[in-house]
Amino acid sequence: MELPSKTMERAVRELSRLPGIGRRSALRLILYLLRQGNDRMENLASSIQDLGRNAQFCENCHSISDSPKCSICSDPRRDDKSICVVEDIRDVLALEKTNAFRGKYHVLGGLISPMDGLGPSDLTIEELVNRIKSNNAEEVIMALSATMEGDTTAFYIYRQIGDLSIKLTSIARGLPIGDSLEYADEITLSKSLQQRVLFESTLSN
C-alpha cells in the first residue's frame, strides 16, 4: 500500500532498494529519522551525496579514496614490491587489522561470478597485470575468499601472470585458530594436510 505522503513514499522506496532492506524496515528507518529531526536527515543525505560526488578509486590499487592515490599507496614505508590481491575494501580493512602485511594492495572490485554476470573485464585484472609489469613486483599474494568464485578468479589471474618471473602465492587454507579438529569439514582438513608446514616454523609466533 502506498503511503499517504509522497515525500515519505519516495524516501521509503529509495531506502528499500538497498540490499537487505525491505519496505517494512525502510519505513521503520524513515520513522526513526523523522523523530530525530531535519538535522540528522540533512547529515545523512549530504554524506551520501558527498560520497557519490567525491569518492574516487585510487589510481594505483583501485581502493576507494579521497585523492587520486590512497593513503596506503602513498605511504613510503610500505613495500612496493609485494602486492596483495583482494576482492574489495573490506578485505583491505580486515588484513590491515592484522598488522601482518607491509606491502600494498590491489582491489579487484569483485570476483569472477558468471551467476552475477561478473566477468574478468568487470574487475581490475588488466590493471593488476600492467601494474605488476611496470612495477617489477616480486611477490603477488592472492588473498581471496575460499569459495568457487575466489578460486576461479585466482586461477584466471594465475593464467594472466603465471609466466612472469614473480613469486605468486596464496594465503593458506586450513583449520581456523580456536577450532577443534573433529568439527572441521573434510575439504578444509585435507587442504590443511596438503599445505602442512615444518613444525619448527610454527614456533616463531
Chain residues in the site for its own copies (CB under 8 A):
1, 3-8, 10-11, 13-15, 17-21, 25, 27-35, 37-38, 40-55, 63-66, 70-72, 88-90, 92-93, 96-97, 109
Of 66 and 136, which CB lies nearer to its own copies in the complex structure?
Answer: 66
Separation between Cα atoms, residue 9 and residue 3, nearest integer Å: 5
Question: Minimal distance in Å, beta carbon 14 to its own copies?
Answer: 4
Question: Minimal distance in Å, beta carbon 121 to its own copies?
Answer: 15
Of 17 and 77, which CB lies nearer to its own copies in the complex structure?
Answer: 17
Residue 164: alpha-carbon gap to chain centroid: 25
User: Residue holding cell 619448527?
Assistant: 200
**HEC sequence for the chain:** CCCCCHHHHHHHHHHCCCCCCCHHHHHHHHHHHHHHCHHHHHHHHHHHHHHHHHCEECCCCCCEECCCCCCCCCCCCCCCCEEEEECCHHHHHHHHHHCCCCCEEEECCCCCEHHHCECHHHCCHHHHHHHHHHHCCCEEEECCCCCHHHHHHHHHHHHHHCCCCCEEEECCCCCCCCCCHHHCCHHHHHHHHHCCCCHHHHHHC
Of 21 and 189, which CB lies nearer to its own copies in the complex structure?
Answer: 21
Of 58 and 140, which CB lies nearer to its own copies in the complex structure?
Answer: 58
Question: Minimal distance in Å, beta carbon 49 to its own copies?
Answer: 4
Question: Minimal distance in Å, beta carbon 186 to its own copies?
Answer: 30
Of 26 and 166, which CB lies nearer to its own copies in the complex structure?
Answer: 26
Question: Minimal distance in Å, beta carbon 136 to its own copies?
Answer: 25
Of 24 and 133, which CB lies nearer to its own copies in the complex structure?
Answer: 24
Question: Minimal distance in Å, beta carbon 146 to its own copies?
Answer: 20
